[in-house]
Every structure is written in C-alpha cells, then in structure tokens.
Amino acid sequence: MNQGKLRSKAPHLLLLTCVLATAAITIFFIAFIFKTALPIFESEGIGFITGTKWSYSEQVYGIRIFIIGTLVMTAVTLLLAVPVSVFTAIFLSEFAPVRVAAHWHSVNATIMNLNTDDSHITAISLNGMHAMNYRAKDASGNLDYYREYPVGYNFKKRVMVPTAGSKEICLNFTGTVINTSEDGNITFTGWTNNSDDYIYPLPKNPRVAYPYVLYPDMVYSATVKNVTGGNVIATPSGNYIMDDITGNITLLGTGSMTNTSSYNIAYTTRFETFTPPLPVSKSDPLTIEVITSLINIFKRTFMPPVPLAEVQFETERLVDGDNVSYRDYLILDASESFDPDGFITEYRWAVWDNSTSIYDYNNLTGMKVRPVKLNLTTCQNVEIDLEVRDDTGMISRLSQRSGNITIP
C-alpha cells in the first residue's frame, strides 16, 4: 500500500522538484547579476544609466546611448513588423480566397423534412456554439428575400422547412454585411416649413425588413449625401436623427438640410452569426446540431479528409535510333488519402523548385500524377504539397497537417 501511494505521488514530486529547481536557478542568476553589477553602481551611481560616455582608459561608463539605441531598434522593428502582421491577418481572415485562407468563412447545410407536417428550425449550433442569425436558400438555390433584403432567421424568425421539402441554411462565421440604398434620390417635398422638425418614413430603411422586435441585435449605419449640393455628406449632428427602432428619419429645423435639395441615402447593415466570431480551421471537424419545432434534434459531425502522399522515383529508358539514354522522374501518389465520413472528390498538387512555383493547386490534379515540368537533373530543394477535397466541400492540405514533402 505504501509503495502504491509512493508511485502515485511520484509524478507530482518530480514536477515539484523541477519547479523548485527552476526557481532556484532563476534566483541564482538574479543574485549573480546583481552582485556583479553592484561595484559599477557604487562608483558611478545613477550616472551609469544617464551617462553618454563609455571609456575604459578614463574609467567612465555610461549606458544611456545603448539604452536609446535598443529602444530605437525596437521601435523600428515594431514599425516594420506590426503593419505587415496586421494587414496579413486582415487579408487571411477577410479577403483571402478559400484556397489561401486557413479558416472557413461560411458553411451551408441542407435540411430535409421527411415529416408529414411543415417544420420550423428552432435553433442551430456549430461546434457547440448557437447561431444568433443566419440566412436560408430555397430549393432553387436562391436566398429568401423580403422587401429587397435577404431574410435573416433566428430564434424569433424561424425557418420553415416544407413537408417533403428542404431548406439550405447559410452560416457566415464572420457575420453578414448587407449594403443597400433608397431607390433613386429623395426630395422631402412634404417638409413645408424648414424651420420645423419633420419626420419622414424611409421606405428602404433596414428596419422595414428587420423590425426591432425580431432583430434587436441588428445594427446599421446610414450615409446621407446632398446630391443637389455636389454629393456632400450631411452629418447627423444638427441635421437629422435616424430612429433605430422605427427606421424613420427626423429632419431638424435647425440644420442645413432643406426641402428643395435631393438626397441619396445608403445603408450598411450587419448581423453577427456568432458572438464572439467563431474561427473554424479547415483542418478541424465540424459538428452541426439542428433543433426543430417538432422536438427533433439532428446532429452530425463533418470530418475533414486526411491527405497522405507518397513520392516514387522512377527511371525510364529513352531510345532515339541507336542512342539509348535513361531519365529519372517522379510519380506523386495520393491513393492512401481517405475521408473518415465520406469520400474524396479532388486531388490537387503544388510543386516548387527552389521556391519557384512549378505547379499550383489548379494545373496538376489527380490521385496519381507525374510532374513532367520538373527536371530532376537541375532542380534543387523541391517542395511538394497535396490538397484534397471531400464530398461535403471540406479541404485539407498536407502542409497544414504534417508539412510539405521536401526533396533536397
């Protein structure tokens, strides 16, 4: 019994010993540095830090210039690195093509209703996080629209799946942005006295399609331009008030807007699908759970395909009349790749010769291929990547899992 307890405590004692040893070594280094530096502080005082002269012959030591140089170097490094890093992150998350970005931007799921009654989708979750807002497509693949706006669905505004029919649910991981505007230019002819406030119901305001009672978390912004005055933007301050609940605009009699000018109003509407935004890597599985009004709960996990590649070195015999020569070539084989919950539909290869792209992911496809453009007699530092796509549209790359194949 005592030996069993000792064995169960052994990992804890080992970790505790390592922690104490690390702490002791750290304390030793701090004490050593302090002891070594103490004489210079006793002789130079604060001048050791504020002084600008360093001379062994005169025994004068000041490190201010070194401190300033280090700070300047750090500032220059940040000035160069931060913008590049930030803009690269923005590009990958917002603008990069699907084949470049490492995360999914959206996912579409088709829900089929095999019941004898129409069903409504009550809730949808992705990897355990409930979706706040989403859109849907009909059987023809077109988004549902209402008053020229795509319909937003949530717990209060539920998707109806017809009997023996289907609906395609569209989930955007980074939210949904909709840009609209009023039809043509607006002239407030009913505003007879410009000295009084005037309320005007905007027919294309987002609140017309997205009433506050159903979409309290929807946010939008409006840009009002005076077309008659050369498209000058009319700022809200002192000119108008946009009612976020009703979508009406109140023109202020104390402002510069008039009933003789024409105005153009543009809107930017935003829905958040997940809060906070849900980053889903292309190499991670997706678990979608759907709850319907018929108290049915459907759950399915989508696993990404697994890319496996083999490089085979082959030699072919070339005969040209009486001349016989031999040439080496490569065969790229992805036949061992598999999809845990379906099947692979596409195999795409990328090949680089000393960092120069020979094939991208579009012009060398197939389960087993021969890169004829690659000359093995002259190539250097060859890198090979494999991208596979499965029947659900999920993509995986060899470089994202185990790394590229490298041939020195």
**Whole-number mean pLDDT of the chain?**
86
Hey, where are the domains in the chain? 2-95, 106-175+275-302, 187-214+221-269, 310-407
Please tell me the class of the 106-175+275-302 domain.
mainly beta
Weakest-pLDDT range from 102-111, 149-158, 332-341 = 102-111
Confidence of residue 35 (pLDDT cuts 50, 70, 90): confident
Do 106-175+275-302 and 310-407 have matching folds? yes
Q: Compute the average pLDDT of residues 341-354.
A: 91
Per-residue pLDDT, 90: 75
In CATH, the number for domain 310-407 is 2.60.40
Q: Compute the average pLDDT of residues 320-334.
A: 88
Whether the predicted pLDDT of 292 surpasses 70? yes
Q: pLDDT of 100-124, one tens digit each?
A: 556 778 888 888 888 888 889 989 9
Per-residue pLDDT, 281: 78
Q: pLDDT of 129-143, one tens digit each?
A: 899 999 999 888 899
| 3-state SS class at 46 | coil
Q: Check: CB of residue 292 under 8 Å from CB of residue 121.
A: yes
Per-residue pLDDT, 7: 47
Which of 334, 317, 313 lies closest to 379 in space, CA to CA? 313
Confidence of residue 88 (pLDDT cuts 50, 70, 90): confident
Which of 305, 296, 284 lies closest to 126 in space, CA to CA? 284
Classify each residue of 279-300 as buried b or exposed e, where b means 16 or more C-beta atoms within 10 Å of its C-beta.
Answer: ebebbeebebbbbbeeeeeeee
Confidence of residue 95 (pLDDT cuts 50, 70, 90): low
Per-residue pLDDT, 92: 63
Per-residue pLDDT, 220: 93
